[in-house]
Amino acid sequence: MFEEVKKLVDRRGLQLVLANQGSEVMKKMNKSELIEKTCKGWIYLTVAEAVAACNFMLHSTKPNPGKDQEPAAWNNV
C-alpha cells in the first residue's frame, strides 16, 4: 500500500516527506526496506524539521516554467 502511495505522489510530481513517526513504525519500515525504496533522505523526527527542510528546498531551487505555462501553474507557495 505504501508503494502505491509513493507511485501516486511521484506521478503528480510531489515529494513524500515523513515526520513524527514512532520508533515502531521506523523499525517496520527499516525491516521491510521501505525507507530505501521510497523516501530516503526525507524522514524527519519532528514536523517542524520537515517543514523547515521543505521550505528550504522550495526556496533554494528556482522553477523553470515552460513558455506556455502561467506562473500560477508552478507556484506551490
Which domains does the chain show, CATH number per domain? 2-60 (3.30.750.24)
What gap in Å lies between CA 58 and CA 77, rounded to an integer? 8
Q: What pLDDT is recorded for position 22?
A: 85
Q: What is the pLDDT of residues 10-27, one digit of tens each?
A: 889 888 888 888 888 888
What gap in Å lies between CA 58 and CA 54, rounded to an integer? 6
Q: What pLDDT is recorded for position 63?
A: 64
Distance of CA 33 to the CA centre of its chain: 17
Please give, one letter per residue, the 3-state secondary structure of 39-74: HCCCEECCHHHHHHHHHHHHHHCCCCCCCCCCHHHH
Q: What pLDDT is recorded for position 67?
A: 53
- Give the predicted TM-score (pTM) of the model: 0.61
Q: What is the pLDDT of residues 36-57, one digit of tens each?
A: 777 777 889 899 999 999 899 8
